[in-house]
Chain A
Amino acid sequence: MRVFVKIGIVLGVVALVASCQNKSTPNYQYMPDMYEPVGYETYQETRAFRNGKEGQLPVEGTIARGHKPYDYPNTLEGYNEAKLNLKNPTDSVTAVSEDYLKNGEELFNIYCAVCHGDKGDGQGVLAEREKILGVPSYDDAGRAITEGSVYHVIRYGLNAMGSYANQLNEEERWQVTEYVMTLKEDLENK
């Protein structure tokens, strides 16, 4: 019987100690030797920089290796120019393969379909639920979108649509663009 009392005491102490954990704060740590980084982690707060953020802006006009600057300005003239002249720089006959479009589809369904709809008809979930109104269909004759204008809009955004340059890199933007063009074709041929 006494043995049970002793076991009970030990379990009680363990329960007591375990109850010290507070779910709303990080738990206790035993000897956190290399838990906290010595170097700067990407999104961490730090007083070492001006605005307290680790992520500092690069100097204007610098070009990172593997990137090209986008020459069309974010203006109406830039838009029109891109609409007329801008073409997919990848060799569209051989490089725009099924995989290429498949990637474009996947990215489209992640970033675009929520407003534009799976088919590009402007009937995305948010439009259906009337959170956002006035999403046009890709076959809207008045807009007559082209490869260049789609890319330009993804890059800069237009009116209610924001820029997706942060989410998608150059290749991904072109993949989405190509996929949007196939959607437009599908809508027109219906």
Chain B
Amino acid sequence: MASHYEAPIREPLVNGEKSYHDVTVDVAAPVEGRANKQWWIVFSIALAAFLWGVGCIIYTISTGIGVWGLNKTIGWAWDITNFVWWVGIGHAGTLISAVLLLFRQKWRMAVNRSAEAMTIFSVIQAGLFPIIHMGRPWLAYWVLPIPNQFGSLWVNFNSPLLWDVFAISTYLSVSLVFWWTGLLPDFAMIRDRAVKPFQKKIYSLLSFGWTGRAKDWQRFEEVSLVLAGLATPLVLSVHTIVSFDFATSVVAGWHSTIYPPYFVAGAIFSGFAMVLTLLIIMRKVSNLEAYITRVHVEYMNKVILLTGGIVSVAYITEFFIAWYSGSNYEDYTYLSIGAATGPYWWAFWALIICNFIVPQTLWIKKLRRNFAWSFIVSIIINIGMWFERFDIIVINLSKGHLPSSWSMFSPTFVDVGIFIGTIGFFFVLFLLYARTFPVIAQAEVKTILKSSGERYKRLREEGTSLAGAAADQRTALKPVAAKAPSGKTEIDKEKQSQLLNTIGAFDPETDQADDLKKINGIGPVMEKTLNQIGIYKYEQVSKMSENEYDLLDAITGAFPGRAQRDDWAGQAKNLIN
């Protein structure tokens, strides 16, 4: 019987009887393989959209904001809509990796890496808008409180737009650090598997010399927890601050205390929808069906249902308060011609249908476990959440306190082009990521393999022992037998003794032989040769220097200079440690 108790009610999180090695191979496959034609096609489309967006951005900045559809009444429209939309999407990643970590949700492990990547890439998109919507973006550095020659002229810390600067930049940097620390063991895995020298070099740099010692892992876990603890309030505060852009204003329809939690809920809502959109495709394309399973989709759909519910309650609250407040302006914005029946009725009803009605179908178990329906709903939600931001910004601005300044907004091709450009940029980054990064946190998945893997759950259910169940024929180590040197005639006795004098001899009676094959550059044949010379231990190898390498080359006569090039001594030292 297994000592571990895992409730049998829980569905397996890793399907397909995977072993540790299977996880490694499956995760590394997209990185080690070559991109197929479809990838290149999609990448080209994304790149084209990105370049088109870059063109639009350059056009805007060089010509002026007037190329957008903004007017004097509606000074914010697509720019801030897209900004809030992208920031919102970015929130799911940190929620998945931080909040779900704090709640010990194991199912997050298969999705957190991509969700965090999505966070980072979408925050980058979001970060573009505050810059490019400026009239003079080349003076954007003035938002930073830097001592300067204007008598140390500083920023006013009372503006939520300034808080945005701090919120977004902090959010991006913390997310990046969180993501990267999580990537270290996985990069190290790819580094250790890499066969091409260039790949090896790159992943050695990326993995920061991760060796996976117990102390490293202990600290790794601590850092993850601390960062998760920091990132959680950050997630809540960042979108809160974004909501302050509106909530602290005096605009009817904006000035509302419900915005902070309501925006955060909306952010998680749209973020999870985006994660679903991406992962449902990714599990197919990258052959990760065993890791991103129906259960994961269902769990995410449940979060969507929850946050969608919160958002819906917020809509109802807004309407109720608009009526209950007795304020003519509020009432007007929400109830009379303002939103539902005014010139923007289509945007309003798009929001209600996409965010309020369609996600309710997820109450039905069959639908929320259905990949195709989840995919459709996730896209609808993202459309709906775009409309939510558009409605909040444009409808409320279009009919303000003075009827003489009522206005309509229609976007120009540049507004649309920049939005398309950011979508293209996002997918360019995400597609590159999917081909070069381990898209599943394999190190984490391996920690739940024995508790939540299909195979182990089955073994536990059968009541059989798990002992030895982790062994994989391809990776199980065979014990290295310490044979006495067979005394082949080719070995130059004089040089051999000279060599052994400096690096120390091996006594098969007391010493244990090490697996020299772990040293990069020593294969089974070379190991045998070394054993013949009398070298069995890392300690011996680690003592080698130039002189010894020469002796070794002279004895073996094979691959001259190889040992020095690969730095066997250094590697052996690392292995001893």
Residues on A facing B (Cβ under 8 Å)? 30-31, 33
Contacts and interface: CB of A to CB of B under 8 A. Distances in A.
**Which interface class (under 10, 10 to 19, 20 to 34, 35 or more) fits B?**
under 10
A52 B443 CA distance: 78
A108 to B, nearest CB: 39
A142 to B, nearest CB: 60
Contacts of B138: 30-31
Contacts of B139: 31
Nearest to A31: B138
5 contacts: A30-B138, A31-B136, A31-B138, A31-B139, A33-B136
Interface string B131-170: 0000010110000000000000000000000000000000
Contacts of B136: 31, 33
B10 to A, nearest CB: 52
Contacts of A33: 136
Nearest to B139: A31
Interface string B25-59: 00000000000000000000000000000000000
Nearest to B136: A33
Contacts of A31: 136, 138-139
A19 to B, nearest CB: 19
Interface string B400-416: 00000000000000000
B64 to A, nearest CB: 12
A31 B134 CA distance: 15
A30 B138 CA distance: 9
A31 B137 CA distance: 11
Nearest to A30: B138
A135 to B, nearest CB: 48
A30 B149 CA distance: 14
Contacts of A30: 138
Nearest to A33: B136
A33 B136 CA distance: 9
A31 B138 CA distance: 8
B239 to A, nearest CB: 33
A33 B139 CA distance: 10
Q: Which 5 A-B pairs have the closest CB atoms?
A: A31-B138, A33-B136, A31-B139, A31-B136, A30-B138
A31 B139 CA distance: 9
B308 to A, nearest CB: 46
A33 B64 CA distance: 13
A33 B138 CA distance: 10
A73 B552 CA distance: 117
Nearest to B138: A31
A22 to B, nearest CB: 20
A31 B141 CA distance: 13
B393 to A, nearest CB: 28
Interface string B105-147: 0000000000000000000000000000000101100000000
B65 to A, nearest CB: 14
A33 B142 CA distance: 15
B295 to A, nearest CB: 50
A36 to B, nearest CB: 16
A30 B136 CA distance: 12
B131 to A, nearest CB: 15
Interface string B205-234: 000000000000000000000000000000
B150 to A, nearest CB: 13
A28 to B, nearest CB: 14
A31 B140 CA distance: 12
Interface in B502-558: none
A161 B138 CA distance: 56
Interface string B365-394: 000000000000000000000000000000
A30 B139 CA distance: 10
A155 to B, nearest CB: 45
